[in-house]
Amino acid sequence: MKLTYLGHSTVVVEEGPFKAIIDPFISGNPSSKLKLSDIKNLTHIFITHGHGDHIGDSVELAKINDALVITNAEISDYLSDKGIKIHAMHIGGRFKFDFGTVKMTPALHGSGIKTEKGMLYGGNPGGFLIEVNNKKIYHAGDTGLTMDMKLLEPENIDVAMFPIGGNYTMDIDDAVIATEFVKPKIVIPIHFDTFPVIKADPNEFKEKNKESDTVILENGESYVF
Ligand code: NI
Ligand code: MN
């Protein structure tokens, strides 16, 4: 499996013909170097919650790639008139797709969708456990530290992606505790440095994380396992 970090919370997941992007925040992301047309052959798009830096370019990418969007029921409803393919899930639900298995996990956060008509209700924010070919990853979405993460330890997660930027989500110290709860083999820090209020040093997380190995990815870098 190949995981490519595109800055903020955006991660591309590739395993055989499966090519997914999680929380595609490209065109509005000040740290992004890519054009949407650079992202090709996507089969799936995962959206953890309704905030603009996570829904991001989902609609346009879904159209360009004819990719299936997987997100919670409320965001699915919001996207239902946009002419794209959608699969609605919700917190705690697990589903077997043709490529593998997905479970939506809880996140402590908000999920409002900002539109021209005001803020729409975006359901509960979440994260995703994605298993393909016996390789299991966990993208936590935007979340504060929560005891619910202890329920993920028996999942035997290979790679967890945790926000470390603070202010809106866990900071470094909370992400260290989250790592102790989840016990993944590898942690990739995400959701930091995009904006001044979420500045954080991933090397500090790496030093403090004694539970798992930390893999720090620069924007555009990949980790293969
Ligand atoms: Ni958010
Ligand atoms: Mn965010």
What's the pLDDT band for 71 if we cut at 50, 70, 90? very high
Asked whether residue 84 is domain-assigned, the answer is yes
The number of folded domains in the chain is 1
pLDDT value at position 160? 99
Asked whether residue 224 is domain-assigned, the answer is no
pLDDT value at position 68? 98
CA of 50 to the centre of ligand 1 (A): 7
DSSP 8-state secondary structure symbol assigned to residue 171: B
Asked whether residue 223 is domain-assigned, the answer is no
Q: What is the CATH number of the domain that holds 32?
A: 3.60.15.10
Asked whether residue 222 is domain-assigned, the answer is no
Reported in sequence order, the residue ranges of 44-112 that DSSP labels E, i.e. its strands, are 44-46, 68-72, 85-89, 94-96, 101-106
84-133 pLDDT, tens digit each: 999 999 999 999 999 999 999 999 999 999 999 999 999 999 999 999 99
138-177 pLDDT, tens digit each: 999 999 999 999 999 999 999 999 999 999 999 999 999 9
pLDDT value at position 31? 83
What range defines the domain where residue 171 resides?
Answer: 2-216
Asked whether residue 25 is domain-assigned, the answer is yes
CA of 54 to the centre of ligand 1 (A): 7
pLDDT surpasses 90 at 51: yes
Q: What is the average pLDDT score of the chain? A: 98
Asked whether residue 121 is domain-assigned, the answer is yes
CA of 16 to the centre of ligand 1 (A): 30
CA of 54 to the centre of ligand 2 (A): 6
What's the whole-model pTM score?
A: 0.98
Where does residue 194 rank: exposed (0-12), middle (13-18), buried (19+ CB within 10 A)? buried
Report CA dihedral (51, 54, 55, 60) to the nearest 10 degrees: 150
pLDDT surpasses 90 at 33: no
pLDDT value at position 85? 98
